[in-house]
Every structure is written in C-alpha cells, then in structure tokens.
Amino acid sequence: MARVVVDVMLKPEILDPQGQAVQRALPRLGFEGISDVRQGKRFELEVDGPVDDAALARIHDLAESFLANTVIEDFTVKVESEDVVAGAAK
C-alpha cells in the first residue's frame, strides 16, 4: 500500500482571512518574522495496489473534480514512499 497526498490551496490572488488571522496571532505568541500565512487542506489517500501512472491519473481527476474547486483553488498530487508511510505510523 502507498499513500498519495493531495494538497489544496486557495489560488494566490484570493484573500485568505483564516490565514491572516493565524498570521496576526503569531506576534502575540512570540513568533516574529513571519509576514504571511495561507491555510490549505491536505488529503491523505491510502491506495490499494500499485501507484502506477493509471492510478495517479485517476487521483488527479478526483482532485480536479472533487477535492479541489479549480475555480478558486490549486492542487498538487504527490506520492509518499512506503518507507515514509511506515515511519510516520510509529
């Protein structure tokens, strides 16, 4: 089994008030020097079987049609190696 990660972010030109609220809280917490924060979504898909080109193409379609609304959001698809998955589970 392998894990495929889909990251979804608002398009850069779209205002992200949640990210701004986080950024404004940082100085109060003693974090200086962070000029901007944008908040997105991360989807972790556990894939049965091999993550070959066909599987990735299907996940890409899923991300484009459902996980992200490409009118307002951008997305990236990446495969996490099985070692990383195993390590993360510990």
Partner 1 sequence: MTARIGVVTFPGSLDDRDTQRAIRVAGAEPVALWHKDKDLKQVDAVVLCGGFSYGDYLRAGAIARFSPVMDTVIEQAKAGLPVLGICNGFQILTEAHLLPGGMLGNDHLHFICRDQKLRVENADTSWTSDYTAGQEIHIPLKNMDGRYVADRRTLDELEAEGRVAFRYLDVNPNGSLNDIAGITNAAGNVVGLMPHPEHAVESLIGTGRTDGLPFFTSILKKLVNA
∠ CA 73-75-78, rounded to 5°: 170
Single-letter amino acid code for the residue at 26: L
Binding window for partner 1 (CB under 8 A); candidates: 12-20, 24-32, 45-53, 82-90: 12-20
Residue 41: CB atoms within 10 A of its CB come to 13
From residue 23 to residue 62, what is the string marking binding to partner 1 with x (rule CB under 8 A)? ----------------------------------------
d(CA 57, CA 38): 27
Binding window for partner 1 (CB under 8 A); candidates: 27-35, 53-61, 66-74, 79-87: 66-74
CB 78, min distance to partner 1, A: 20
Q: Structure tokens of 77? A: 């698809």
